[in-house]
């Protein structure tokens, strides 16, 4: 199966035992951990993650200043905004530090992390270059210590917290902007209303209308004895009431 949800996996497996599921999973994209991976483990289904290098980001070759060509799908993925890349840079730097200590590469450490999650997880990194294929295969010989895995997870959680805090701040700023715009709108409406009222005060009342004052509120109202109409807006000459 490819990119199937839990319901589809269970339904398919009940009809014909499923050998493996292919979906995106990497150190940078952890959503399958919520329910897909536990389901696969329960049913004895293998997992072959695609984009195990975070579409290139985990290799350390992409930073917040990198511009993607028009049509590149990464332009549409929230994880690839400059802000998100900047927040996750510390994680990539840590992979580089671990890789250097092992005479390996960022990509090899990122793949080794996947291999360390479950014995039935086999990442499928894509490449068109022989030396990259050889580099990827080399990840199978890298064994991350429990300390390495802990450091990587701590860095990931800090990056996630920073992104969440930034998103919350931006949301608050957007809400405040809407509130400010609404206040300005109401202020302009009130100003326009006052302007029109002031203009009307300078004009004579339309024929047949008399001005009175409401005893309770003190506000003026206007009564037309001939028609029996009462209005609160000053009826001036030239206006239709």
Q: What is the mean pLDDT of residues 170-184?
A: 78
Strand, coil or helix: 46 = strand
> What average pLDDT does the chain have?
88
Q: What is the mean pLDDT of residues 219-236?
A: 87
Q: What is the mean pLDDT of residues 53-68?
A: 91
What does the alpha-carbon distance between residue 157 and residue 146 come to, in Å, rounded to a whole number? 16
Instruction: Give the closest residue to 51 by CA, choosing from 136, 161, 157, 116.
Output: 136
Is the pLDDT reported for residue 67 higher than 60?
Answer: yes
Question: pLDDT band at residue 47, thresholds of 50, 70 and 90?
Answer: very high
At 232 the pLDDT is 84
What does the alpha-carbon distance between residue 174 and residue 136 come to, in Å, rounded to a whole number? 43
What does the alpha-carbon distance between residue 44 and residue 22 come to, in Å, rounded to a whole number? 14
More confident residue, 201 or 104: 104
At 168 the pLDDT is 67
At 236 the pLDDT is 78
At 111 the pLDDT is 97
Helices (H) and strands (E) in the chain, counts: 6, 5
At 241 the pLDDT is 46
Query: Which tokens go with 59?
Result: 């290799």
Is the pLDDT reported for residue 27 higher than 60?
Answer: yes
pTM of the model: 0.65
């Amino acid at each position: 199966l490819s990119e199937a949800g839990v319901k589809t996996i269970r339904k398919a497996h009940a009809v014909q035992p499923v050998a493996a599921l292919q979906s995106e999973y990497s150190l940078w994209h952890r959503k399958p951990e919520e329910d897909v991976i536990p389901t696969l483990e329960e049913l004895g289904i293998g997992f072959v993650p695609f984009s195990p290098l975070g579409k290139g980001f985990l290799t350390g070759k992409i930073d917040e200043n990198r511009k993607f060509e028009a049509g590149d799908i990464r332009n549409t993925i929230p994880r690839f905004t400059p802000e998100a890349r900047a927040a996750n840079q510390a994680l990539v730097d840590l992979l580089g530090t671990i890789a250097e200590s092992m005479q390996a590469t960022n990509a090899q450490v990122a793949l080794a992390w996947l291999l360390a999650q479950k014995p039935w997880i086999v990442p499928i990194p894509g490449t068109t270059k022989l030396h990259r294929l050889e580099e990827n295969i080399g990840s199978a010989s890298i064994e991350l210590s429990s300390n390495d895995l802990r450091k990587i997870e701590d860095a990931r959680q800090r990056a996630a917290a920073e992104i969440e805090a930034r998103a919350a701040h931006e949301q608050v700023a957007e809400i405040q902007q809407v509130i400010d715009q609404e206040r300005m709108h109401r202020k302009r409406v009130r100003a326009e209303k006052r302007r029109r009222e002031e203009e009307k005060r300078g004009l004579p009342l339309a024929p047949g209308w008399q001005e009175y004052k409401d005893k309770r509120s003190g506000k003026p109202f206007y009564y037309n004895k001939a028609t029996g109409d009462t209005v609160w807006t000053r009826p001036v000459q030239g206006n239709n009431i």
